[in-house]
Amino acid sequence: MTGPDDGTSPSQGRPVDAGTPERLPGGAELDPVRRSVVLETTVRLVFHTVLVFSLYLLFAGHNQPGGGFVGGLVAGCAFVLRYIAGGRGALREAVPVDPGIPIGAGLLLAAGTGCVALVLGGDFLESAQRTFDLPVLGELKLVSVLAFDTGVYLVVVGLVLGLLRTLGAAAER
């Protein structure tokens, strides 16, 4: 997968003012003529909302449209936005991990869920559900496949991040 040196080289000779906090990180690497402050700022505002929405899709997916795959794609779109607006630097700031990590974690989680069922005496990937009463929020129903779906979510996010790094960032040079 991509190594740690992807896009870490600072841009050629343009000094970054160390005194002022970088409000639009990653922007330092962009060509000043071609960068759009409006786009960068908007993306900063929207980014977290999109991520939260992706999580909503993940959790709501069992009863309403959504699910791990769709949620992962939405989260991936959020990172795509960051990358388009802010370039490699912004992407790196948004997710400072190697894309292999979410992919591996996701696969492990999904397969692990299946194995847990096996250990508990069920069939591989057999699901279970339990309803809790939470004091303020009311009734909460948890289904074990949520963990599986989270695995799917992580793999998809990792895939999109990997594509951004390889076909996006790596191709910039």
Partner 1 sequence: MLALLVLHGMLAAAAPAVGARWGRRVFLLVALAPATSAAWAATQAAAVLDGRPVGSATAWVPGLGLTLDLRLDALSLLMMALVSGIGTLVFLYCAWYFPVGRAGLGRFAGVLTAFAGAMLGLVLADDLILIYVFWELTSVTSYLLIGFDDEDAESRRAAQQALLVTAMGGLAMLAGFVLLAKAAGTASLSAILIDPPTGGTVPVALLLILLGAFTKSAQVPFHPWLPSAMAAPTPVSAYLHAAAMVKAGVYLVARLAPAFAVVGVWRPVVLTVGLLTMVIGGWRALRQNDLKRLLAFGTVSQLGLLMVLLGVGTPEAALAGAALLLSHGLFKATLFLSVGAVDHATGTRDLRELSGVGRRAPLLAAAATLAALSMAGVPPLLGFISKEAAYEAFVTGSGTDLLVFAAVFLGSVLTAAYSARFVWGAFATKPGCTPSSVHALPAGILAPVVVLGAAGVVLGLLPGLADPLVQGYVASYGSDAAAEAEHLALWHGFNAALLWSALTLAAGAALFALREPVRRLQLRATGVLGRVDADRAYGTALEGVDATAYRSTALIQTGSLPVYLGTVLVTLVLLPGTALLATSSISGDLAGWDRPLQPVVAIIVAVAAVSAARARRRFTAVLHLGAVGYGIAVLFVLQGGPDLALTQFLVETLALVIFVFVLRRLPKNFIRRPARLSFAVRMGISLAVGGFVTGAILVASQARTAPAASQAFLDRSYDEGGGSNVVNVILVDFRGFDTLGEITVLAVAAMGIASLVLAGRRRLTEQGGGETAMTAADGQAVDELGAVAPEAVP
The structure tokens listed for 156 are 């998809």
37-76 residues near partner 1, rule: CB under 8 A:
61-70, 73-74, 76
Examine residue 110 and tell whether it contacts partner 1 (CB under 8 A).
yes
Angle (CA) 108-109-110 rounded to 5° is 95
Among the listed residues 70, 97, 77, 54, the one whose alpha carbon sits nearest the alpha carbon of residue 152? 70
Contact between 105 and partner 1 (CB under 8 A)?
no
162 belongs to the binding site for partner 1 (CB under 8 A): yes
Q: Which of 100, 118, 120, 132 binds partner 1 (CB under 8 A)?
A: 100
Residue 16 or 120 having the CB closest to partner 1: 120
Q: Answer whether 164's CB lies under 8 Å from 79's CB.
A: yes
Cβ neighbours of 158 (radius 10 Å): 25
What six digits make up the tokens of 113?
Answer: 């869920």
Distance of CA 138 to the CA centre of its chain: 29
Instruction: Specify the residue, 27 or 67, whose C-beta has the smaller distance to partner 1.
Output: 67
Map tokens 């993940």 to a residue: 58
Contact residues: partner 1, CB under 8 A: 1-3, 5, 61-70, 73-74, 76-77, 80, 84, 99-100, 103-104, 106-107, 110-111, 114, 124-125, 127, 129, 141, 143, 145, 148-149, 151-152, 155-156, 158-160, 162-163, 165-168, 170-171, 173
